[in-house]
Structure 1
Amino acid sequence: MDITYQYTKRRCDFGRQPLFCEQGPDMCDSIATDVTEHKRYILRNPVHELIQNTSDFSEHYVNTRRAKYTQSGANHSEGGWPKDVNILDPEATQRYRRKVEKDDGYIHCVMALTNGMEHYVYQNNAIDMYQSYYKEMKEQPDVERIGMRTVNVYRDHDHRPVSSISWQAESSYHFAVSYVDFSDFYRTPRSTITAALWDVENANSPEAILHPHTTLFDLQYSPRDPNLLIGGFLSGQVGSWDKRIAGAPTHVSAPHVAHRDFVRNVRFINSKSGVEFFSSGPDGVCKWWDLRQLEEPTDEMIMDFVTSSFDSQSMVTASGVSCLEYEATIPTRFMVGCENGRVIGGNRKGKTPMEKLPFKIDAHLGPVWSLERNPGFLKNFLTVGDWTVRVWSEECRESAILWSPPLRYSYTAGNWSPTRLSLMLMCGIDGRISAWDLLRRQHEPVLTMQLPDPLLRQSFHDQGSIVTVGSRKGNIFLVELSLTLAQSEKNDKGMLTAIFERESKRERILEAKLREIKLKMRQAEEGSPKASATDIDPTLNDRDLAEATTDYFSQVKKELAAM
């Protein structure tokens, strides 16, 4: 097929040769400037105009007819036959077989293949492929593979530090983030004050933007309604949003009933309506609100711990709240972490100040940055502050039952895993995520992962396999944990119960001995005339202490042998 075409044209059809010469400009007419039109004239510089002064040509491609090829296999049940043998005639094929079998080459070929075929036949008869072997051997446990990896990063274009992260209810893969520039929030903010609602599947841009009227410190999803959010503002007010509307808040509390300082934490409480929550801040007051009526709080409580019924609470001596803890299964009780290092327990059913604040614990030397109960052991809770991580029991208020050694860099947040009860996840100012598993190690983390930014906040998903970590540069890292860090074994809860009971018993014994020693020292200072034999040795004839010591060392030996 000829795919070329020749264009021909005669020379006489080319036309005459153009001749050009230089000639000055000739003025044909002069029009004066219109002043009104001249004022409306706007000079555009630069000006880009597209001009096409050439002929248009087009090019077209045509595919020729294409040959189709297919690949097919053939099953040869027997060898090929010569052309002169009719394969449909049994007698002809039989005569040809007898002819080939008499050939010497055929006999030698069969004899050479006999040894190999005999070996495989004997091997097949000796081993039953369908039989289960080595049943008598004990089944070995699978090798534990502990690990975590960064799945995605959700970036803030203004690089604002993350102040709070909250996952949507009903095991949804959506989370809300609030950003606060801590160095400039008391003045007019230089950066934007918006909050973002992210979808795990889309890291390019948030699915919705919230526009508060002032800096937003905390943003939390409702555990019942997946479209309802609440937040605390710099002005001391609280407000709510509807995710379907986004934009500005739908409800905001009145300024005259707001907190005296900014609202650092907000939490939903377990109520019939599902729209009640409480808030706290550095002013040292916790206020309870109802979204149906935000004109005034339904209740408030001053975080001033008193030791007698004659003392009165005052805002002057109240402790500023740095973090809140609320467990839905205990609807009337809550705990607050204070800026002076205390953990104060609260009870809304109390009538007197002593009943409303039943206990306090001097947990840390500085502010308590995180406070959370263990989801399987509600009497035990975790605190993060100064340069240590501590696990407490409500039965032992003098000292923690477990604690970490002093760290080189302080932790900024800590949480219990919702699915593996013995796992604590920490994030630090040095950019490290540390996983502490109390059943594996208690003196150091079982796994540490380095991230590029200083970390401030973190939040577990309900499934326990992923966690969001917020940094100082506004990045949200989505971290995935391995199955060994996300799932509990069948014996884990019993082993963790034994650890908590053993350490709690040890601390109770030490607290009792310490109180006894202090009492004896006080009696000695007051000039007590009598002194018993136990004054010389406080542990003399103490049967409980001897039993506890024996029990403790036996448990330690068992755990060391198991390791």
Structure 2
Amino acid sequence: MEIVHVYTKLRAHFGRQCVFTDRPADLLVDVQPDPCVTERFILRRPREGALQVCRDMSEHQVNTERFESSSCGLNHVEGGWPKDINPAEMEQTIRFRKKVEKDEGYINSILQLGSVMEHCSRQNNSTDLYQDYFEDEDQEDESQETTFAKTINVFRDPNEVKRMVTGLSWHPDSGRKLAAAYSCLEFQRSSKDVSVDSYIWDIENPNRPEMALKPTSPLVCLDYNPKDSHTLVGGSYNGQIAYWDTRRGGHPVEFSSVEQSHRDPVYKIIWLQSKTGTDAFSASTDGQVLWWDIRKMSEPTERLVLDLGREGNLDRALGAISLEFEATMPTKLMVGTEQGVVVSCNRKAKTPAEKIVCTYDGHHGPVHALQRNPFFPKNFLTVGDWTARIWSEDIKESSIMWTKYQMSFLMDACWSPVRPSVFFTVKMDGVLDAWDVLLKQNDPALSVKVCDEALFSLSVHHHGRLVACGSQQGGATLLEVCPGLSTVQKNEKSLLAAMFERETKREKILEARQKELRLKERSRSAQSREEEVTGREEGEETPDQLILNTENNFFNMVEAELRRRREREEKENQEKDVCEEKEVKDDQETSEF
């Protein structure tokens, strides 16, 4: 016999919305961490991204008072004096003035014209009537012209096996020389036939390099000394640091020992502003920042381990691939890491815990570029994954401005040295973008397809007109941008300062709001936990007890159902036996008859 249970429901109850209730989370399973994996664990905070699908619009209208004018003529002699008054005679003019001032019509006219004159004087205070609106006509026309960039020269790797241009540096004095570092960062594709030389190019002669730098290992980065234009310092693929004096040839004057150098390739090296002009510091993916004095390259003068636990543990250090140092802030430096975190450090701190000041976490991948704004050092630019972000030192939770997500990875970026609001970026699809945040924030002001290969490095001339881009196949392209991107615009610095201040205030307000919401949620969860504990103390069952009681009720119901089935089967069997006995008895009686 089949057991059928029919569930009935009123038609009015169909299609009703689900009503959810708020209750605290229940711990179902507790998996203890593996001690071996715990040592390699790096805490990553969740990231927040903002999307905008509409364009912001604004409208403003001003209505002014209508002015009606009429033309009339007046015939008078000098000063408007009557015919019987000689303006040259002072006594006659004084007597006439006293006579007019005593006249009642003059007094009434002055009283009536006073209010009109006051209104006109107030207008003059709010609007400069003597402003020359066309004094900067040429400059305005120049800023409104179409932005463009033209290719001047292409410096190609002279070797048969092409290598990536991983670093670029301009000559600090004349700016007519460009130093390029060539290296193959793909370890498995490197071979013995690959050259280790890097070159110094004359921008007027792309046919062959002016000088070849011959390190012991391929250079990943290099930098000209701003105080001595004849010296360069470079970081090698094997972690060594070397420096050159161009007056002594292409071989390095001195290089660091392997034991005291980095363990990974040196991705960035920068000269420090010191009295001697011989100090530099480097960063590598081994998690160290090392300070060097080129007069003594046997060992670094100082060492910093990028351990966010502030214990100086090299096994848990974050790999560094970008550096930033501002001469106006000699004690501060910033490091971009492979984990998407920007670490702000204090060089003069005494303990490792004090050297790491704070962190800025905002990229999904390595921070390939990091640079402060040359006009506003508190604001800095970072490039990672698909976006470029502008940060403020006062806001650590998020950036104040950012570009929309691009279709290709951004590999390098730098600010314009002459225009505060302009910065350049290069991408994996071979495109150079010039951004002007005062003009527009959603799209670049200029996009140029430089080449068909990926662009990995970027450097802007100190005059702002020349931009050098390094590609994957060893080509360093030199471009000249239009005057609109290399000439300071009127009030540009004040407008950008106001924009940065406004965006910083906005982020502070949003950050305060988020903190307030987190505090409310924390207090609400604490209150719910207290109510749960109170309910347990008053005799309510715990979740474990509820689960156990439910299981017991289920098994009791199953046993009861099995018992009912057995009783029903026994009863049916008894009835069947009675029926069979009755049939047998009927058959016997029929046979006797």
Q: Same fold per TM (> 0.5)?
A: yes
Pick closer, same or farther for the CA change 1:525–1:353 going to 2, 3 Å.
farther
2:123 is matched with which residue?
none
C-alpha displacement of 1:371: 0.5
Pick closer, same or farther for the CA change 1:488–1:235 going to 2, 3 Å.
same
Supply the distance in 2 between the matched residues of 1:403 and 1:376 (Cα, whole angstroms).
Answer: 19
SS at match of 1:154: strand
Pick closer, same or farther for the CA change 1:511–1:202 going to 2, 3 Å.
same
2:8 is matched with which residue?
none
1:128 is matched with which residue?
none
SS at match of 1:249: coil
Supply the distance in 2 between the matched residues of 1:439 and 1:137 (Cα, whole angstroms).
Answer: 24
Counterparts of 1:258-407 in structure 2, within 5 Å, are 258-306=261-309, 312-407=311-406
TM-score normalised by L of structure 1: 0.67
Whether the aligned pair in 2 keeps the contact of 1:165 and 1:175 (CA below 8 Å) is yes
Pick closer, same or farther for the CA change 1:417–1:185 going to 2, 3 Å.
farther
C-alpha displacement of 1:528: 7.5
TM-score normalised by L of structure 2: 0.64
C-alpha displacement of 1:327: 1.2
SS at match of 2:315: coil
- The answer to whether residue 204 in structure 2 is matched with residue 205 in structure 1 is no
1:420-455 alpha-carbon deviations (Å, 9 max, x no partner): 110011111111111110110011101111122321
1:249-286 alpha-carbon deviations (Å, 9 max, x no partner): 11011222111222221111111110110111010000
2:363 aligned partner, one-letter code: H
- The answer to whether residue 475 in structure 2 is matched with residue 472 in structure 1 is no
1:25 is matched with which residue?
none
Supply the distance in 1 between the matched residues of 2:480 and 2:204 (Cα, whole angstroms).
Answer: 14
1:510 is matched with which residue?
510
- The answer to whether residue 253 in structure 2 is matched with residue 254 in structure 1 is no
Counterparts of 1:91-170 in structure 2, within 5 Å, are 139=134, 141-142=140-141, 144-145=144-145, 146-158=147-159, 159-170=162-173
1:412 is matched with which residue?
411
C-alpha displacement of 1:187: 5.3
Whether the aligned pair in 2 keeps the contact of 1:287 and 1:300 (CA below 8 Å) is yes
2:265 aligned partner, one-letter code: F
Pick closer, same or farther for the CA change 1:529–1:315 going to 2, 3 Å.
closer
1:103 is matched with which residue?
none
Supply the distance in 2 between the matched residues of 1:515 and 1:416 (Cα, whole angstroms).
Answer: 33
Structure 1: unaligned runs, 5 residues or longer: 1-134, 531-563
Counterparts of 1:537-552 in structure 2, within 5 Å, are none
SS at match of 1:527: helix
1:430 is matched with which residue?
429
Pick closer, same or farther for the CA change 1:169–1:137 going to 2, 3 Å.
closer
Q: Please, which moves more after superposition, 516-525 or 493-502?
A: 516-525
2:510 aligned partner, one-letter code: L
Supply the distance in 1 between the matched residues of 2:271 and 2:260 (Cα, whole angstroms).
Answer: 19
Structure 2: unaligned runs, 5 residues or longer: 1-129, 531-593
2:470 aligned partner, one-letter code: G
1:526 aligned partner, one-letter code: A
Supply the distance in 1 between the matched residues of 2:528 and 2:463 (Cα, whole angstroms).
Answer: 61
SS at match of 2:521: helix
Whether the aligned pair in 2 keeps the contact of 1:185 and 1:215 (CA below 8 Å) is no
Supply the distance in 2 between the matched residues of 1:220 and 1:236 (Cα, whole angstroms).
Answer: 16
1:151 aligned partner, one-letter code: I
1:219 aligned partner, one-letter code: L
Supply the distance in 1 between the matched residues of 2:370 and 2:132 (Cα, whole angstroms).
Answer: 47
SS at match of 2:199: strand
2:362 aligned partner, one-letter code: A
- The answer to whether residue 497 in structure 2 is matched with residue 497 in structure 1 is yes
1:239 aligned partner, one-letter code: A
Whether the aligned pair in 2 keeps the contact of 1:171 and 1:462 (CA below 8 Å) is no
2:232 is matched with which residue?
229
Pick closer, same or farther for the CA change 1:503–1:189 going to 2, 3 Å.
farther
Supply the distance in 2 between the matched residues of 1:189 and 1:397 (Cα, whole angstroms).
Answer: 46
C-alpha displacement of 1:355: 2.1
1:93-122 alpha-carbon deviations (Å, 9 max, x no partner): xxxxxxxxxxxxxxxxxxxxxxxxxxxxxx
Alpha-carbon RMSD: 2.0
1:514 aligned partner, one-letter code: Q
Supply the distance in 2 between the matched residues of 1:298 and 1:136 (Cα, whole angstroms).
Answer: 59
C-alpha displacement of 1:490: 2.9
1:371-414 alpha-carbon deviations (Å, 9 max, x no partner): 00000000101010011111110111101110111111111111
SS at match of 1:365: coil
Supply the distance in 1 between the matched residues of 2:258 and 2:518 (Cα, whole angstroms).
Answer: 50
SS at match of 1:476: strand
Whether the aligned pair in 1 keeps the contact of 2:158 and 2:208 (CA below 8 Å) is no
1:126 is matched with which residue?
none
Supply the distance in 1 between the matched residues of 2:224 and 2:497 (Cα, whole angstroms).
Answer: 32
Whether the aligned pair in 2 keeps the contact of 1:171 and 1:463 (CA below 8 Å) is no
- The answer to whether residue 241 in structure 2 is matched with residue 238 in structure 1 is yes
Supply the distance in 2 between the matched residues of 1:421 and 1:171 (Cα, whole angstroms).
Answer: 23
Whether the aligned pair in 2 keeps the contact of 1:151 and 1:479 (CA below 8 Å) is yes
SS at match of 1:526: helix
Whether the aligned pair in 1 keeps the contact of 2:184 and 2:190 (CA below 8 Å) is no
1:186-236 alpha-carbon deviations (Å, 9 max, x no partner): 855431110000111111111100111112111111011000011111222
1:152-175 alpha-carbon deviations (Å, 9 max, x no partner): 111112321101000111242111
C-alpha displacement of 1:296: 1.2
Whether the aligned pair in 2 keeps the contact of 1:304 and 1:318 (CA below 8 Å) is yes
1:441 is matched with which residue?
440
Supply the distance in 1 between the matched residues of 2:529 and 2:264 (Cα, whole angstroms).
Answer: 55
Pick closer, same or farther for the CA change 1:137–1:461 going to 2, 3 Å.
closer
Q: How many residues align?
A: 393
Pick closer, same or farther for the CA change 1:136–1:374 going to 2, 3 Å.
closer
Supply the distance in 1 between the matched residues of 2:522 and 2:447 (Cα, whole angstroms).
Answer: 48
2:378 aligned partner, one-letter code: K
2:291 aligned partner, one-letter code: W
1:380 aligned partner, one-letter code: N
- The answer to whether residue 216 in structure 2 is matched with residue 217 in structure 1 is no
1:522 aligned partner, one-letter code: R
Relative to total residues, which structure has the larger helix share, 1 or 2?
Answer: 2
2:460 is matched with which residue?
460
Whether the aligned pair in 1 keeps the contact of 2:265 and 2:285 (CA below 8 Å) is yes
SS at match of 2:503: helix
C-alpha displacement of 1:247: 2.2
